[in-house]
Structures are given as C-alpha cells and as structure tokens.
Structure 1
Amino acid sequence: MPVPRDTHDPAVRPEPTRPGGGQPGGDQPGKIRRTRISGTWVAVLASVVVLIFLLVFVLQNPTGVTIHFLGFSGTLPLGVALLFGAIAGAVLVGLVGAARIMQLRRQAKRGLH
C-alpha cells in the first residue's frame, strides 16, 4: 500500500503528468488511450449512419420532378434532385473554405520570412 504524501510540504514536489492526464511511467491500468485511428472509426461509423438515412430518404421520395438549370432540363426523382442540391452546396462550401485556408497560409508564409 503506497504511503500518502504530504502535498503541503514544500520539499515534496508533485509528480509531473502528461497532457492526457496519465503519469509519465504509463497510463492508468485498464484504460485504453484514444488514437487518431479510433477517432477515424467513429467518423466512419457516423458517416455510415448518415448514408443510411440518405438512402432511406431517396427511396421514400421517388416522385419525378422536372429540373431546369442553365438552359438544361430533365426529370429526376425528388430525393435524387435534393441530394444533388445538397452535394452542390457542400462542394461550394468546401471551395470557399479551401480558398480561405490558402489565403491564410500565404499570409502566414509572408509573416515568417
């Protein structure tokens, strides 16, 4: 049984801890550390759930609608048309975000040199 240390004694320093909260000699017994791969698996599982919901949405909305865009027109199932609209919106947001990231990187490089 470990002897409790007096934390009020200035001669006794507390042992340093790592950012994850574990002690330098090792993690707490029985506790598994999170890794980037485990976070990726959580994201993959969440994506699968979202895709299942999208598939159900598309299958439940098979009614055909006429789409007119930039002089083109065609008929698509409603679910597919809305899915294409959502994808187009996501691509647009991604392009704007990528442009902003490139702008910030250029500014950071100018500031470093």
Structure 2
Amino acid sequence: MSTTDGPNDGAGDPVERVNAPLADAEPPVPPNPVSSPETEAVRRHTSMGHTKAAATWSGLVIGVLVLIVLLVFILQNLDDVTLNLFWWEFSVPLGIGLLLAAIAGALIMALAGGVRIVQIRRLAKRAATR
C-alpha cells in the first residue's frame, strides 16, 4: 500500500482542505436598500445611544452616593468646634462646619463662573452684531 491510498488520494493536506473556501457557498445577502419610515423609526429607537434621561438618572445615582458619603462623614465627625466669623461665634459639629465651608466654596466658584459666562455672552453678542 502506498501513502497516497485512502481518502486523501492526491487531495493534499487535510488541513488545506478544511481551510479551503467552499465552492458552493452562498455570498452574504446585502442589506435591503429600501427602508420604510417604520423601519427607520425602529432603527432609531433601538439605537438611541446616550439620552438626557439616562444622564439624569446617572447624575441622580451619583448624587445619592455622594450624599451617603457626606452623611457618614458628618456622623463620624460630631465633635463640637467653635467657628468665628467677624463678630459671630458658632459652635457646630466638625462635619457640619466642613460641609458649610465646602458649600461656601462652591457658591464662590459658581459666582465666578457666572460672571465669566456673562462676559462670554456679551462678547458673542457683540461679535454677532458686527
């Protein structure tokens, strides 16, 4: 018996036959170029991407997590401290005092940002009228 006897008679390596393209394979079907308004609406609905509602939900979840962390921080820092502002003197828990300081900083930042936004809007309005 020779080495070419059997199912591989002159057909080459079995691996080559497996990787060879099929002669009777059907080509892929192209997508339908005609689309109706209904199919377009379904396509848009299923591929909405990032929406305002999703962003709002994400923001609310993050906000709740931040509030939980703040609550834990305040509850762990209940030692009284004395705060002096000009001639007023306050005795508040440390966590509340730090929270008030953070809120004051955020308000100052918002005020500065608001002033800058007004400046940019004025410049844009002047540039649009020219």
> Which of 21, 25, 32 is residue 40 of structure 2 equivalent to?
25
Q: Does 1:63 align with 2:79?
A: yes
Tell me how far apart the structure 2 counterparts of residues 74 and 51 of structure 1 sit (CA, whole Å).
24
The count of aligned residue pairs is: 95
Higher percent of residues as helix: 2
Following superposition of structure 1 onto structure 2, how do residues 66-81 of structure 1 map, counting pairs within 5 Å?
66-81=82-97
Structure 2 residue ranges without an equivalent (≥5): 1-27, 34-38
Computed over aligned residues only, the root mean square deviation of the Cα atoms, in angstroms, reads 2.4
Partner of 2:118: 102
C-alpha displacement at 1:71, in angstroms?
A: 1.5
Cα separation, 2, equivalents of 1:94 and 1:30: 38
1:35-54 matched pairs, under 5 angstroms: 35-54=51-70
Q: CA deviation at 1:3?
A: 3.4
Distance 1:30 1:106, change over 3 A: closer
TM norm structure 1: 0.75
Aligned mates of 1:69, 1:104 — CA distance in 2? 34
For residues 67 and 112 of structure 1, the distance between their equivalents in structure 2, rounded to whole angstroms, comes to: 50
Cα deviation 1:57-81 (Å, max 9, x = unaligned) = 0011000000011111110000000
Give the TM-score normalised by the residue count of structure 2: 0.65
Once structures 1 and 2 are overlaid, which stretch shifts more, 30-39 or 86-95?
30-39
Moved beyond 4 Å, runs of 4+: 28-32
Read off the aligned partner of 1:98 and give its amino acid letter.
G
Change (3 A) 1:28 1:103: closer
Q: Which residue of 1 aligns with 2:36?
A: none
The verdict on how the C-alpha distance between 1:71 and 1:43 changes in structure 2, with shifts beyond 3 A counting, is same
> Residues 71 and 78 from structure 1, CA distance in 2 versus in 1: closer, same or farther, beyond 3 angstroms?
same
